């Protein structure tokens, strides 16, 4: 049996005390410092290197992983710079000497970690340096086991989903601001295959394939359904195994987002859509629903807050047409901007922080909108709901304008109307003029009514859905789908009237 050098024996013992266990090296394996370590390598010597860098204050992850990725390379470069060595990110004889002889200079402050850019969403199909850094961080923590290649494919999706589930974030396989922010913070839990993922429940999460689930059903199939809906951000309650009204509403929300038949019944079409779902029920790109919550109903809510109070706030903002994705319970950048927009509309301090006064004002405004929707005939045959119409329309904000377009790849004004009404079970004509003639005239618009304008030609040539507070959502030729104010000079001078199309 090969003997360890005294130096390596001491290091192994100290790491065992720290809770990091190494496999014993074979006789053919070089001891630490006898071979150069560089980017892409993965072995026990890299773990020793990371531990030594950690002791010197240059490697800031909780656990040495044994993988020499971008983070380890940067830590080596920072150590080399602090010790007047050649800065190349490669651990060779000079770097080993400074580390093992105790002559290294520890940083006066922890070096800045390599951060993943958070300016855009990373999802399946993405590629580039940001994906490389994402894979590096996931690999450092043990979630990503494939080769780092900068391509966001199924293996990266699964690694992100596992990270999100373990760290109690919104599970959607998409690296958005919250997931990236959590990774950049250095607070991510290392992967532990012995630990069951959060929210896994006691039963199987395998979706059934040969059954239909509907209201009042019970059992493991319903548990699996609720778990998958919860992972995708459509269900924020406890997994109970009982198919009640809340589960039915979550199913409907998912069906609407997946653009399939909306009936609240889970059959083969819905099961297949759930299994293959790559979209997000979350808005704050990868946000967690959070079961607890910082910031109660009576407190101030701000970026980082989470829990039921945030979910309620997001629902109210969605009612007002200001929050354009599914509520997540996490107060991220999208929620902040929605609050800020509301504050600007009401001449409040526009800082994006939901104080008690802001929350009360949002609630009051949402109540008015709901009353307007009720007086405007929110019910109707086929279960038509005005607030669903507004919520669905708002999810397309940012979609580009395309002349003759009538799909999510691009809309013109009347194509947008026809599409949104259609997914809510209402068939209306195609052009603005036809829709004007089809609708029932109203003296003043209520939420959900369609407002018409005379723009490039005589008669009704443009329209949008009224969302209250003198605002409407429409597909503008220069803006794409957006929200506009009817009181501006341009729109007020071209206004023809409102029609009810539902």
Q: Are both 397 and 495 inside the same structural domain?
A: yes
Could you tell me if 466 and 450 are in contact, meaning their C-beta atoms sit under 8 angstroms apart?
yes
Q: Are both 426 and 489 inside the same structural domain?
A: yes
pLDDT given at position 371: 59
**Which tens digit of pLDDT belongs to each residue from 371-388?**
555 554 444 434 577 877
Q: Of 21-25, 82-86, 498-502, give the lowest mean pLDDT range.
A: 21-25
- Alpha-helical regions (H) of 432-500: 432-438, 489-492
Write down the residue that tokens 């706030």 correspond to.
Answer: 313
**Which of 375, 398, 419 is the C-terminal boundary of a domain?**
375
Residues in the chain: 502
Q: How many Å apart are CA 451 and CA 339, to the nearest integer?
A: 26
Q: Dihedral, CA atoms, 356, 357, 359, 364, nearest 10 degrees? A: 140
Q: Are both 464 and 434 inside the same structural domain?
A: yes
Question: Which structural domain, as residue segments, surrounds residue 345?
Answer: 308-375
Q: How far is CA 319 from CA 51, 122, 219, 421, 422, in A?
A: 52, 28, 34, 17, 20
pLDDT given at position 499: 95
H or E element: which one contains 129? helix 129-140
**Which tens digit of pLDDT belongs to each residue from 271-282?**
888 887 766 554
Highest mean pLDDT among 72-81, 133-142, 213-222, 472-481: 472-481
The 3-class secondary structure across 253-319, one letter per residue, is: HHHHHCCCCCCCCECHHHHHHHHCCCCCCCCCCCCCCCCCCECCCCCCECCCCECHHHHHHHHHHHH
pLDDT given at position 476: 92
Largest CA distance in the chain: 94
Annotated active-site residue in 182, 228, 369, 474: 474
Annotated active-site residue in 228, 324, 369, 462: 462
In this model, does residue 466 exceed pLDDT 80?
Answer: yes
Could you tell me if 325 and 216 are in contact, meaning their C-beta atoms sit under 8 angstroms apart?
no
Question: Is the pTM of the predicted complex or chain greater than 0.75?
Answer: no
Question: Residue 419 — pLDDT band, cuts 50, 70, 90?
Answer: very high
pLDDT given at position 201: 41
Q: Are both 481 and 395 inside the same structural domain?
A: yes
Q: Of 97-101, 348-352, 490-494, give the lowest mean pLDDT range.
A: 97-101
Q: How many other C-beta atoms are found inside a 10 Å radius of the C-beta of residue 145? A: 13
pLDDT given at position 294: 37
Q: Is residue 170 part of a domain?
A: yes
pLDDT given at position 383: 58
Annotated active-site residue in 182, 228, 324, 413: 413
Q: Is residue 226 part of a domain?
A: no
CATH number at residue 432: 3.90.1720.10
* Cβ partners under 8 Å of residue 440, min gap 6: 499, 500, 501
Q: Are both 391 and 446 inside the same structural domain?
A: yes
**Which of 84, 100, 116 is the C-terminal boundary of a domain?**
100
Q: Is residue 17 part of a domain?
A: no
Question: Residue 5 — pLDDT band, cuts 50, 70, 90?
Answer: very low
Angle, CA of 332, 338 and 339, to the nearest 5°:
90
Q: Is residue 201 part of a domain?
A: no
What letters, b where the CB count within 10 A reaches 16 and e where it falls short, cover 345-369? beeeeeebbbbeebbebbeebbeeb
Q: How far is CA 57 from CA 44, 95, 106, 116, 133, in A?
A: 20, 15, 6, 21, 21
Q: Are both 78 and 146 inside the same structural domain?
A: no
Give 306's strand partners. Answer: 294, 330
pLDDT given at position 372: 57
The question of whether 324 is a catalytic residue gets the answer: no
What would the DSSP string read from start to end of 312-356? HHHHHHHHTT---S---SB--HHHHHHHHHHHHHTT---SS-B-H
Count of domains forming the chain? 4
Angle, CA of 193, 196 and 201, to the nearest 5°:
160
In this model, does residue 81 exceed pLDDT 80?
Answer: yes
* Cβ partners under 8 Å of residue 117, min gap 6: 129, 130, 133, 180
In this model, does residue 288 exceed pLDDT 50?
Answer: no
Could you tell me if 255 and 265 are in contact, meaning their C-beta atoms sit under 8 angstroms apart?
no
Return phi, psi of residue 28, to 5°: -85, -10
Average of pLDDT values for 29-46? 73
pLDDT given at position 12: 37
Q: Are both 345 and 418 inside the same structural domain?
A: no
Q: Are both 416 and 492 inside the same structural domain?
A: yes
Q: Is residue 120 part of a domain?
A: no
pLDDT given at position 370: 63
The question of whether 413 is a catalytic residue gets the answer: yes
Percent of the chain topping pLDDT 70 = 79
Q: How many other C-beta atoms are found inside a 10 Å radius of the C-beta of residue 28? A: 6
Q: Are both 393 and 368 inside the same structural domain?
A: no
pLDDT given at position 374: 53
Q: Are both 403 and 470 inside the same structural domain?
A: yes
- Alpha-helical regions (H) of 143-238: 154-166, 177-185, 220-231
CATH number at residue 82: 1.10.101.10
Quick one: DSSP state of residue 197? P
Q: How many Å apart are CA 36 and CA 133, to the nearest integer?
A: 23
Q: Is residue 287 part of a domain?
A: no
In this model, does residue 491 exceed pLDDT 70?
Answer: yes
The question of whether 502 is a catalytic residue gets the answer: no
Q: Are both 426 and 496 inside the same structural domain?
A: yes
Q: Are both 327 and 395 inside the same structural domain?
A: no
Q: Is residue 450 part of a domain?
A: yes
Q: How many Å apart are CA 223 and CA 202, to the nearest integer?
A: 9
pLDDT given at position 486: 94
R_g of the chain computed on alpha carbons: 28
Could you tell me if 142 and 64 are in contact, meaning their C-beta atoms sit under 8 angstroms apart?
no
What rounded mean pLDDT belongs to the chain?
A: 76
* Cβ partners under 8 Å of residue 259, min gap 6: 423
**Which of 59, 84, 100 is the C-terminal boundary of a domain?**
100
Q: Is residue 135 part of a domain?
A: yes
Q: What token pair was written down for 199?
A: 């929210």
Q: How many Å apart are CA 265 and CA 195, to the nearest integer?
A: 33
CATH number at residue 371: 1.10.101
Could you tell me if 70 and 136 are in contact, meaning their C-beta atoms sit under 8 angstroms apart?
yes
> Residue 93, SS3?
helix
Give 151's strand partners. Answer: 127
Question: Residue 6 — pLDDT band, cuts 50, 70, 90?
Answer: very low
pLDDT given at position 361: 85
Q: How many Å apart are CA 454 and CA 439, to the nearest integer?
A: 16
In this model, does residue 234 exceed pLDDT 80?
Answer: yes
pLDDT given at position 111: 46
């Amino acid at each position: 049996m090969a003997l360890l050098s005294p130096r390596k024996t001491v290091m192994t013992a100290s790491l065992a005390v720290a809770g990091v266990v190494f496999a014993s090296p074979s006789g053919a394996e070089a001891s630490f410092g006898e071979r150069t370590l560089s980017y892409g390598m993965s072995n026990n010597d890299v773990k020793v290197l990371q531990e030594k860098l950690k002791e010197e204050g240059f490697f800031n992850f909780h656990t040495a992983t044994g993988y020499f990725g971008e983070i380890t390379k940067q830590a080596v470069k920072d150590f080399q710079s602090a010790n007047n060595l050649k800065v190349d990110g490669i651990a060779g004889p000079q770097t080993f000497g400074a580390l093992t002889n105790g002559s290294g200079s520890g940083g006066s402050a922890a070096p800045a970690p390599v951060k993943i850019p958070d300016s855009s969403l990373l999802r399946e199909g993405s590629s580039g340096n940001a994906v490389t850094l994402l894979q590096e961080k996931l690999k450092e923590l043990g979630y990503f086991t494939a080769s780092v290649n900068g391509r966001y494919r199924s293996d990266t999706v699964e690694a992100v989903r596992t990270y999100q589930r373990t760290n109690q974030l919104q599970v959607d396989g998409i690296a958005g601001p919250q997931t990236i922010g959590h990774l950049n913070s250095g607070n991510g839990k290392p992967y532990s295959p012995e630990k069951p993922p959060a929210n896994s429940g006691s039963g199987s999460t395998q979706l059934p394939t040969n059954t239909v689930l509907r209201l009042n059903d019970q059992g493991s199939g319903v548990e699996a359904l609720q778990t998958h809906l919860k992972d995708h951000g459509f269900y924020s309650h406890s997994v109970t195994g009982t198919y009640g009204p809340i589960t039915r509403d979550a199913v409907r929300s998912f069906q609407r987002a997946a653009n399939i038949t909306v009936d609240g019944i889970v059959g083969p079409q819905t099961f297949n859509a759930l299994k293959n779902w790559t979209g997000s029920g979350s808005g704050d790109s990868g946000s967690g629903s959070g079961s607890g919550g910082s910031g109660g109903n009576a407190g101030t809510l701000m970026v980082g807050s989470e829990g039921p109070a945030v979910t309620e706030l997001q629902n109210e903002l969605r009612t007002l047409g200001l929050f354009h994705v599914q509520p997540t319970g996490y107060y991220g950048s999208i929620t902040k901007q929605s609050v800020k927009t509301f504050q600007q509309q009401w001449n409040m301090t526009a800082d994006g922080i939901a104080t008690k006064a802001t929350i009360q004002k949002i609630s009051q405004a949402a109540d008015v909108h709901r009353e307007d929707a009720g007086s405007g005939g929110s019910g109707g045959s086929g279960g038509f709901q005005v607030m669903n119409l507004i919520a669905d329309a708002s999810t397309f904000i940012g979609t580009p304008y395309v002349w003759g377009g009538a799909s999510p790849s691009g809309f013109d004004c009347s194509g947008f109307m026809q599409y949104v009404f259609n997914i809510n079970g209402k068939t209306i004509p195609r052009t603005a003029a036809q829709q004007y003639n089809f609708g029932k005239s109203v003296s003043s618009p209520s939420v959900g009514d369609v407002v018409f304008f005379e723009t490039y030609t005589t008669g009704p040539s443009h329209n949008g859905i009224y969302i209250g507070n003198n605002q409407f959502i429409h597909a503008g030729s220069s803006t794409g789908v957006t929200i506009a104010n009817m009181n501006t000079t341009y729109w007020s001078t071209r206004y023809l009237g409102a029609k009810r199309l539902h």
